[in-house]
Amino acid sequence: MPAKGAVKRLILRNVLWMEKRRIRLAFWLSVFLVTYCSRGHVHAADAKPGMTPNRLIHEKSPYLLQHAENPVDWYPWIEEAFQKAKKEDRPIFLSIGYATCHWCHVMAHESFEDKDVAQLLNKYFIAIKVDREERPDIDKIYMHVCQSLTGHGGWPLSIFMTPDGKPFFAGTYFPKSKRMGMPGFVDILEQIAAMWQQDRASILKSSEAITAAIQPREDSDPSAPPLSVETLKKGYTQLARTFDPSWGGFGTAPKFPTPHHLTSLLRWHKRNSDIAALEMAEKTLDAMRRGGMFDQIGFGFHRYSVDEKWLVPHFEKMLYDQALLSMAYTEAYQVTGNIEFAQVSREIFTYVLRDMTAPEGGFYSAEDADSEGEEGLFYVWTPKEVKEHLGKETGDLYCRFYGITEEGNFEGGQSIPHMRVPIQTFAKKEGMDPKRFETILEDARKVLFDLRKKRVHPLKDDKILTSWNGLMIAAFAKGYEAFGSEAYAEAAKRAAGFILQNLRTADGRLLRRYRHGDAAYPGYLDDYAFLVWGLIELYEATFEVSYLEEAVALNKAMIDIFWDKQGGGLFFTGKGNEQLITQSKEIYDGALPSGNSVAVLNFLRLGRMTGNIGLEEKAEELTRTFSRQVQDQPMAYTQLLNALDFMIGPSREIVIAGDPALETTHAMVKAVHTRFLPNKVLLLRPEGPAGKRLASLSPFVEAMRPINGQPTAYVCEQYACKTPAKNVGQLESILN
Closest CA to 512 of 527, 501, 497, 496: 527
Query: Do 499 and 436 sit in the same domain of this protein?
Result: no
CB 266 within 8 A of CB 282: no
**pLDDT at residue 663 in the model:** 95
- The answer, yes or no, to whether residue 218 has pLDDT greater than 90, is no
Cα distances (angstroms) measured from residue 576 to each of 144, 499, 509, 510, 532: 23, 19, 9, 11, 19
CB atoms near residue 734 (< 10 Å): 17
**156 closest CA partner among 174, 176, 135:** 174
* 603 occurs within a structural domain: yes
CA–CA distance, 473 with 489 (Å, rounded to integer): 9
Phi, psi of 700 (to 5 degrees): -65, -15
**Cα atoms in the 13 Å half-sphere on the side-chain side of 641:** 33
448 vs 218: which has the higher pLDDT: 448
Q: Are 404 and 279 in contact (CB under 8 A)?
A: no
* Number of domains composing the chain: 6
pLDDT at 224: 80
Q: How do residues 534-580 score in pLDDT, each as one tens digit? A: 999 999 999 999 999 999 999 999 999 999 998 899 999 999 999 99
Give the residue from 510, 528, 532 showing the smallest Cα distance to 520.
510
Same domain, 413 and 430: yes
Spatial separation of the C-alpha atoms in residues 443 and 388, rounded to whole Å: 15
Q: Which residue range(s) make up the domain with 728?
A: 650-736
Looking at the structure, tell me whether residues 344 and 377 fall in a common domain: no
For range 61-80, the mean pLDDT:
96
Quickly list H helices, 214-302. 229-242, 259-272, 275-290
Q: How many CA atoms lie within 13 A of 187 on its CB side?
A: 17
149 & 262 share domain? no
| pLDDT of 216 | 78
Pairing outcome for strands 518-522 and 317-318: unpaired
Asked if the structure places residue 407 within a domain, the reply is yes
Question: Quick check: 41 pLDDT over 60?
Answer: no
**Rounded distance between C-alpha atoms, residue 243 and residue 217, angstroms:** 33
Q: Are residues 380 and 496 in the same domain?
A: no
Mean pLDDT computed over 32-57: 50
CATH for 147: 3.40.30.10
pLDDT given for residue 42 in this prediction = 40
How does the average pLDDT of the chain come out, rounded? 91
- 725 has pLDDT over 60: yes
Instruction: Give yes or no: residues 380 and 494 share one domain.
Output: no
Given CA atoms 596, 597, 598, 599 in this order, what sign does their dihedral have? positive
- The proportion of the chain whose per-residue pLDDT surpasses 90, expressed as a percent, equals 86
Q: Please indicate, yes or no, if residue 222 is contained in any of the structural domains.
A: no
Q: How far apart are CA 513 and CA 319, in angstroms?
A: 14
Question: How many whole angstroms separate alpha carbon 53 and alpha carbon 94?
Answer: 19
Mean pLDDT along residues 193-222: 87
Are 449 and 512 in the same domain? no
How far CA 420 is from CA of 393, 395, 426, 655, in Å, comes to: 19, 16, 9, 46
- Give the confidence band of 392 by pLDDT, cuts at 50, 70, 90: very high
Claim to verify: residue 474 and residue 619 sit in the same structural domain: no
HSE (CB half, 13 Å, CA atoms) of 491?
29
**pLDDT at residue 180, rounded to an integer:** 78
CA neighbours within 13 Å on the CB side: how many for 514? 25
- Beta-strand relationship, 374-375 and 370-371: antiparallel
Answer yes or no: are the C-beta atoms of 475 and 327 closer than 8 Å: yes
Closest by CA position to 575, among listed 583, 466, 213, 709: 583
Res. 49 pLDDT band, cuts 50 70 90: very low
Is residue 328, in this structure, part of any structural domain at all?
yes
Residue 52 has a pLDDT of 63
Q: Is residue 252 part of a domain?
A: no
Asked if pLDDT for residue 111 goes beyond 80, the answer is: yes
Kindly indicate the confidence band of residue 45, based on its pLDDT and cuts at 50, 70 and 90: very low
Asked if residue 450 and residue 476 are part of one domain, the reply reads no
pLDDT in tens, 286-337: 999 999 999 999 999 999 999 999 999 999 999 999 999 999 999 999 999 9
Q: What is the mean pLDDT of residues 35-55?
A: 47
In a domain, 578, yes or no: no
What is the C-alpha separation between 29 and 145, in angstroms, rounded? 14
Q: Please, is 550 exposed, middle or buried when counting C-beta atoms within 10 Å of its C-beta (0-12, 13-18, 19+)?
A: buried
Q: 363 lies in a domain?
A: no
| Backbone φ, ψ for residue 129 (5° rounding) | -110, 135
Does the pLDDT at position 37 exceed 60?
A: no
Q: Are residues 189 and 67 in the same domain?
A: yes
Which residues, 6+ apart, have CB-to-CB distance to 573 below 8 Å?
137, 524, 525, 562, 579, 580, 583, 584
Q: Which phi and psi angles does 640 have, rounded to 5°?
A: -65, -35
Residue 721 confidence class, pLDDT cut points 50, 70, 90: confident
Judged against a pLDDT cut of 60, whether residue 4 lies above it is answered with no
- pLDDT above 80 for 40: no
Mean pLDDT of the region 522-536: 98
In a domain, 474, yes or no: yes
| Bridge partners of residue 375, in order along the sequence | 370
Residue 438 pLDDT greater than 50, yes or no: yes
- Report how far residue 628's alpha carbon sits from residue 110's, in angstroms, rounded to the nearest whole number: 44
Residues 77 and 158 in one domain: yes
Q: Which of 220, 223, 204 is nearest to 212 (CA)?
A: 204
- Asked if residue 27 and residue 128 are part of one domain, the reply reads yes
pLDDT-derived band at 215 (thresholds 50, 70, 90) equals confident
Tell me: pLDDT of 117 over 50: yes
Q: pLDDT confidence of 220, banded at 50, 70, 90?
A: low
Last residue of a domain, one of 457, 492, 512: 457
